[in-house]
């Protein structure tokens, strides 16, 4: 069984060494970023001893770069810090809104995009928002960093694509093209601090005439993993993202959804609501793209 | 089990302590350091009773390992009052009877101070949203919101 230990490596190489050493000795290691899921799980679901590997002292997990080609967000940066960054909020408003929906002020002081993704909840609010912004996971691995699109990262409920000895270092997003807008909405029965019944992110890029030349749609809480819905994006491309196009995109989301019935909503309700969210989110993304220079 | 040696700053004082790796900051504050002002409510980050400031950010100390405090600066409810007595917020909570059982109060005071430090003139909606992570089962919140509004008014008058 082993015992609990805590380490806070200061480099990627040191962190990988810790993971390798534990794998070789058959001991369990678990990464810690903000801890808002991990510590709750440690108190309830899984009290077993392990070595907790804190990534917050690693520079690459804390770096935020807004480049002309690419935006890099370290996996350990708390949501509150992202929300306070006006430049980032202006470029990826939908993503920051999704992060801002998660938990209270206190939770946002710790919770991270990286942790939200690694936790691999079907209802993770930031995952659809990262998918539609063409997010790419930067994964620290023994053979050097490897990259994986966000939509391929979650492989099941609570399961992700990280192999033993790997950890998530950060997330990369291409700098949005001119006349691009993104948005994320979720439905919850309360005004805040709840888990999504359904969620939808949309990003659209318009040409000078307001016609959609590129789009991405992501949905959450309506399947075992957050999904990228190509058919919904195709329903928007070539249109002016008008009501008919948004209705077609919403219908594509309903078709892609394979939800469960639980205390938050039924299968039928979730399939219907995800279409409504897609229409509303798409309209916000379109208006942002029209307003963007 | 090997203990972790932690050096940190709490309410401006250098503090050293030993903790076990899985111990939360809340447990270390209460059980190791004897700082009993910070309360445990739910233990899962939902109620905000254990709210502290960590390097300028509001966090639930129940969702933080004590070992993570190494090299950080923490402020707890014990660090809110000044040498001349209670902080305005503490006084206003008393004046407005914004507490009954008192378990949630330290968390509310620490969180409300963080709000007023950032936004000296919050409207009611901003106060209610900022404090949404602090649960009170006694007051119904109105008295708390009024205490924070009144504290903001007095702080503005002093400034």
pLDDT in tens, A67-96: 999 999 999 999 999 999 999 999 999 999
Q: Which residues of A touch B (CB under 8 A)?
A: 3-6, 8, 32, 34-36, 39-40, 42-44, 49, 52, 54, 56, 78, 80, 103-107, 109-110, 192-193
Find the residue in A nearest to B4 (Cα).
A6
From chain B, the residues in CB contact with A6 under 8 A are 4, 21-22, 65, 67
Which of A146, A193, A149, A191 shows the shortest CA–CA distance to A166?
Answer: A146
Please indicate whether residue B94 or residue A43 has the higher confidence score (pLDDT). Answer: B94
Q: Torsions phi, psi of A172, nearest 5? A: -115, 140
pTM across the whole model: 0.95
User: Tens digit of pLDDT for each residue in B4-32?
Assistant: 999 999 999 999 999 999 999 999 999 99
Residue A115 structure tokens: 């942790």
Dihedral sign from CA coordinates of A202, A206, A211, A216: negative
The pLDDT value given to residue A292: 65
Domain B88-158 has what CATH class?
mainly alpha
- DSSP 8-state class, residue A34: S
For residues A68 and A151, membership in a common domain is answered with yes
Residue A156 to residue A245: CA distance in whole angstroms: 31
Give the integer Cα–Cα distance in Å for A17 and A51.
13
Provide the shortest C-alpha distance from residue B63 to chain A (in Å): 6
Cβ count within 10 A of residue A245: 22
B82 contact partners, CB below 8 Å, separation of at least 6: none
Angle, in degrees to the nearest 10, between helices B142-158 and B88-95: 140
Under 8 Å between Cβ of A94 and A200: no
Residue A133, token pair as written in the block: 């912004």
B43 contacts in A (CB within 8 Å)?
43
Answer whether B135 touches A (CB < 8 Å): no
- Say what the pLDDT of residue A118 is: 98
SS3 annotation, A239-254: CCCCHHHHHHHHHHHH
**Percentage of chain B surpassing pLDDT 90?**
96
In angstroms, the separation between the Cα of residue A71 and the nearest Cα of chain B is: 24
Q: What integer pLDDT is reported at residue B1 of this predicted model? A: 63
Kindly identify which residue of chain A lies nearest to residue B58, measuring between CA atoms. Answer: A106
Contact A6 B133 (CB under 8 A): no
- Whether residue A103 sits in one domain with residue A37: no
Q: State the complex-level ipTM.
A: 0.94
CA angle A119, A121, A127 (to 5 degrees): 90
Q: Does the distance separating the beta carbons of A4 and B20 come in below 8 Å?
A: yes
pLDDT (0 to 100) of residue A194: 87
Cross-chain residue pair A6–B64, CB shorter than 8 Å = no
The CATH code that applies to domain B4-79 is 3.10.20.30
Give A42's contacts in chain B (Cβ within 8 Å).
22
- Nearest Cα of chain A lies from the Cα of B91 at a distance, in angstroms, of 24
Whether residues A18 and A88 fall in one domain = no
3-class secondary structure per residue, chain B: CCCEEEEEEECCEEEEEEECCCCEHHHHHHHHCCCCCCCCCCCCCCCCCCEEEECCEEEEHHHCEHHHHCCCEEECHHHCCECCECCHHHHHHHHCCCCCCCCCHHHHHHHHHHHHHHCCCCCHHHHHHHHHHCCCCCCCCHHHHHHHHHHHHHHHHHC
Asked if B50 and B41 touch (Cβ cutoff 8 Å), the reply is yes
Rounded to whole angstroms, how far apart are CA atoms B20 and B66?
8
**B60: which chain A residues are within 8 Å (Cβ-Cβ)?**
36, 106-107, 110
Q: Give me the total of CB pairs closer than 8 Å, taking one residue from chain A and one from chain B.
A: 88
Contact (CB<8Å) A35/B68: yes
Name the domain boundary from A123, A155, A174: A174
Tokens of B114: 């963080």
Is residue B21 within 8 angstroms of chain A, CB to CB? yes
Sort out which chain B residues have CB atoms less than 8 A from A10's CB and list them.
Answer: none
Domain ranges of chain B: 4-79, 88-158
Domain that holds residue A69: 63-174
Contact across the interface for B132 and A192, Cβ inside 8 Å: yes
Distance separating alpha carbons of residues B73 and B62, to the nearest angstrom: 17
How many Cα atoms occupy the beta-carbon half-sphere of B155 within 13 Å? 22
Measured distance CA(A197)–CA(A186) in Å, rounded: 7
A161 and A98 in a common domain: yes
Q: How many structural domains does chain A have?
A: 3
User: Do A245 and A266 belong together in one domain?
Assistant: yes
Residues of chain A with pLDDT under 50: 1, 293
Helix (H) or strand (E) holding A115: helix A113-119
Tens digits of per-residue pLDDT, B59-81? 999 999 999 999 999 999 999 99
Same domain, A73 and A164: yes
Per-residue pLDDT tens for B99-158?
Answer: 999 999 999 999 999 999 999 999 999 999 999 999 999 999 999 999 999 999 999 887
Instruction: Give the distance from residue A263's alpha carbon to the nearest chain B alpha carbon, in angstroms.
Output: 19
Nearest partner of B111 among A168, A104, A210, A286, judged by Cα:
A104
Give how far B131 is from chain A: nearest CA, Å. Answer: 7
CATH (domain of A34): 3.30.43
Q: Are A218 and A228 in contact (CB under 8 A)?
A: yes
Query: Are both A230 and A249 inside the same structural domain?
Result: yes
Q: Do B45 and A43 touch (CB under 8 A)?
A: no
């Amino acid at each position: 069984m082993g015992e609990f230990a805590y380490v806070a490596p200061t480099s990627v190489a040191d962190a990988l060494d810790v993971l390798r050493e534990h794998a070789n000795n058959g001991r369990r290691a678990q990464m810690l970023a903000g801890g808002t899921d991990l510590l709750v799980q440690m108190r309830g679901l899984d009290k077993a001893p392990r070595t907790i590997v804190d990534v917050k002292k690693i520079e690459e997990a804390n770096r935020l770069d807004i480049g002309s080609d690419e935006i890099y967000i370290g996996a350990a940066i708390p949501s509150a810090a992202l929300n306070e960054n006006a430049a980032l909020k202006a470029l990826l408003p939908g993503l920051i809104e999704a992060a801002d929906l998660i938990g209270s002020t206190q939770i946002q002081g710790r919770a991270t995009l990286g942790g939200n993704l690694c936790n691999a909840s079907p209802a993770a609010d930031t995952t659809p928002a990262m998918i539609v912004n063409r997010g790419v996971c930067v994964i620290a691995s023994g053979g050097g960093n490897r990259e994986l699109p966000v939509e391929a990262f979650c492989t099941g409920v609570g399961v992700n694509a990280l192999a033993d000895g790997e950890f998530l270092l950060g997330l990369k997003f291409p700098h949005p093209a001119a006349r691009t807008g993104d948005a994320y909405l979720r439905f919850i029965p309360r005004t805040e601090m709840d888990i999504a019944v359904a969620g939808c992110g949309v990003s659209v890029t318009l040409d000078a005439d307001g016609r959609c030349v590129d789009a991405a749609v992501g949905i959450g809480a309506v399947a075992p993993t957050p999904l990228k819905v190509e058919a919904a994006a195709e329903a928007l491309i070539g249109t002016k993202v008008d009501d008919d196009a948004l209705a077609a995109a919403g219908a594509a989301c309903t078709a892609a959804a394979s939800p469960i019935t639980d205390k938050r909503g039924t299968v039928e309700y979730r399939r219907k609501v995800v279409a409504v969210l897609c229409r509303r989110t798409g309209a916000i993304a379109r208006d942002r793209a029209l307003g963007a220079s | 089990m090997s203990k972790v040696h932690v050096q940190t700053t709490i309410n401006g004082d250098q503090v050293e302590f030993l903790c076990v790796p899985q111990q939360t900051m809340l447990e270390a504050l209460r059980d190791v350091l004897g700082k009993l002002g910070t309360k445990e409510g739910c233990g899962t980050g939902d109620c905000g009773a254990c709210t502290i400031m960590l390097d300028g950010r509001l966090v639930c100390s129940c969702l933080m390992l004590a070992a993570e405090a190494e090299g950080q600066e923490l402020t707890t409810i014990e660090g809110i009052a000044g040498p001349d007595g209670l902080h305005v917020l503490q006084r206003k909570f008393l004046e407005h009877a914004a507490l009954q059982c008192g378990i949630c109060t330290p968390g509310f005071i620490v969180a409300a101070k963080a709000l007023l430090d950032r936004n000296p003139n919050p409207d009611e909606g901003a106060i209610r949203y900022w404090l949404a992570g602090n649960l009170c089962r006694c007051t119904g919140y109105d008295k708390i919101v009024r205490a924070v509004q009144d504290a903001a008014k007095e702080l503005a008058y002093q400034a």
